[in-house]
Structure 1
Amino acid sequence: MDEPSIDTGTGASDSQARSVRRRALGEFLRSVRARVSPESVGLPSGTRRRTPGLRREEVAQLCGISVTWYTWIEQGRDVSVSAGVWSRLATILHLSRAERHYLFELAECADPEHGREHDEALPQGLAACVHSITAPAYILDRCWNVLARNEPLLRLFDGWPDRSAQPNLLRYIFQDPAAKQLVVDWESRARRVVAEFRADAAPYAEEPDLRLLIDDLSQSSPVFAHWWTRQTVVEREGGRREFRHPDMGIVHYQQITFRLAIRPDCKLVMLLDEDSQG
């Protein structure tokens, strides 16, 4: 059985923000605990209950932690809880995907189940959304595989990603010679791309498909291998992008990236033509 530990540190604003999150977390757990019936978790329902839902001691027993520890969590006390415990709580309390995400956000902990949605097909509505965008646009998953793209993107990239059965932006940048011709200042962009990908891939670091991709890129591209070992991390901030198109010449775009609420492992990337912006 796991045992609690209490953080006695006293940071100023960080400590206050953490306290607010912990209180919100405790209130959330009390609320969802009240709606879970004993029968739904395999407990007898014969005894009368003064309040609906599961008792604290029942949740603690099912989760494999002490009642004291679980009580502290609901009270909003600053206790150290492993990802496995949060995951068991999410299962026991029958949390929806959105509720589970909310739980781990408040707990400031990486969800061990994060990324399992990667195996699900992209919802049809998302692909339709991409095709309705007039600017070049595409959706990337956690490995930067292209799951959807529109015709403007296809024209800008001169036929890619349709040239590949499983298009991947990293493979294009580091393995396709066409990328060096299309992307202006390719060396600089390639360096930043590696740092962006490292930050992006952190929650999935131990996933086999991600490891295979990194290993393959490290073996096939000395540039990727060089920058990957530098441990540089930056956010995918977007900004100005320049391309040397064979027909359109030098074109300039502003890149904007959105996280998708219904597929947190994916992001929608849009390239807005600078010349058409007022």
Structure 2
Amino acid sequence: MTSARSGAEGVKTYLRELLRQCRARICPTEPASHGPARRRPGISQEHTAVLLGCSTRWYATLESGRMQNPTTEFLESVAKVLRMNHQERQALFLYALGQLPPLTSGFGTTPHPDWNAFVERQRQPACIYSRTWDLVAANADYLDLLFGNAQGGVAGLPERNVLRWVLLNDEVRTTLVNWRTDWALPMLSELRAAIATSPECQALMALLHGLLIDPVVRELWNGGSSPRTHPDGMNRVIRHPRRGDVEFTILAASLMHPRDLRFVTLITSE
């Protein structure tokens, strides 16, 4: 019990220090309206509360760690007002709410530049794509295997969205072995899961509407779904024009930042 209590008190301390540090680096744009000038750097709790549109007591409740289950909207406002970067925003949610913040494009969708080099150096086909299946990076092996052309890199592809390429291209439907059961249905189930996670994401809804224009995809979508929510561990086969049938296992993992990017590698038996 003592250790649990000390752990909870530690979290309150971390939250208080985080908010104080973020307040301290912001230069006040207005002089104090009453009382002596502020001696500490940054903005006060009172100034912060004004920027948030709440009472000083309400904000102080958060900073002291006494606020029970603050809303996501309030924490997002705090992160914005205190100009938090993605690491600080994640820490705010973890300390105040005990969970990571929701995915948002407001904190960037570009991975660290070294991720591109990491993907290029993989000995197996590898890529990074967004939660809307838009390719961000890919090595030559991945582009050759899935798209049949590695020239020009990702920027030279006729279609950079993996989901649209797999589901809407008639030629691809013949090269992906068991296209309906092993590719289309599982990927549509992953799309359902993504929409369930982020129902407000307009990009996901636009992707879905574009896919449902195709009658075959629309039939599959309306026919039900499987519990598949991610591709990790799936075994698949691509009928490559030069290499023949290429069997592989998909390994997938989410990046820590941005969290809506996914690293995927295809472990082939070649």
TM-score w.r.t. the length of structure 1 is 0.74
1:177 to 150, 165, 170: 170
Structure 2 residues without counterparts, runs of 5 or longer: none
Partner letter of residue 125 of structure 2? P
- Equivalent positions of 1:104-183 (< 5 A) are 104-106=93-95, 107=97, 108=99, 110-111=101-102, 114-117=104-107, 124-157=113-146, 159=148, 164-183=157-176
Deviation of 1:254 (Å): 1.9
Describe the SS at the equivalent of 1:264: coil
Percent of aligned pairs with the same residue? 24
Tell me which of 236, 242, 251 is aligned to 2:246: 251
The separation in 2 between residues aligned to 1:192 and 1:124, in whole angstroms, is 31
| Distance of 1:93 and 1:137 partners within structure 2 | 38
> How much has 1:104 moved relative to structure 2?
3.1
| TM-score, normalised via structure 2 length | 0.76
Opposite residue 73 of structure 1, the aligned amino acid is L
Deviation string 1:47-95 (CA, Å, 9 cap, x unpaired) is 3668765544443332122334333333434634333321221123231
Q: Which residue of 1 aligns with 2:24?
A: 37
Residue of structure 2 equivalent to 1:9: none
Q: 1:37 to 1:270 in 2, by over 3 A?
A: same
The answer (yes or no) to whether the contact 1:194–1:228 under 8 Å persists in 2 is no
Cα offset, 1:115, TM superposition = 1.4
- Partner Cα distance (2:101, 2:225) in 1: 20
* Alpha-carbon distance, 1:133 to partner: 0.9
8 Å Cα contact 2:52-2:78 kept in structure 1? yes
Number of residue pairs matched by the alignment: 256
Deviation, 1:105, is: 4.4
> Which residues of structure 1 form unaligned runs of 5+?
1-15
The one-letter amino acid of 2:138's match is: R
Check 1:78–1:140 CA distance in 2 against 1; reply closer, same or farther (3 A cut): same
Q: Distance in 2 between matches of 1:225 and 1:123?
A: 39
CA distance in 2, matches of 1:67, 1:167: 49
Alpha-carbon spacing, 1:158–1:71, altered in 2? closer, same or farther (3 Å): closer
Counterpart position of 1:212: 206
Structure 1 residue 139 displacement after superposition: 1.3
1:1-278 equivalences in 2 (<5 Å): 24=11, 26-35=12-21, 36-37=23-24, 40-44=27-31, 47=36, 54-77=43-66, 79-106=68-95, 107=97, 108=99, 110-111=101-102, 114-117=104-107, 124-157=113-146, 159=148, 164-189=157-182, 190-202=184-196, 204-224=198-218, 226-227=220-221, 230=224, 234-245=228-239, 246-273=241-268, 275=269
2:235/2:248 contact within 8 Å kept: yes
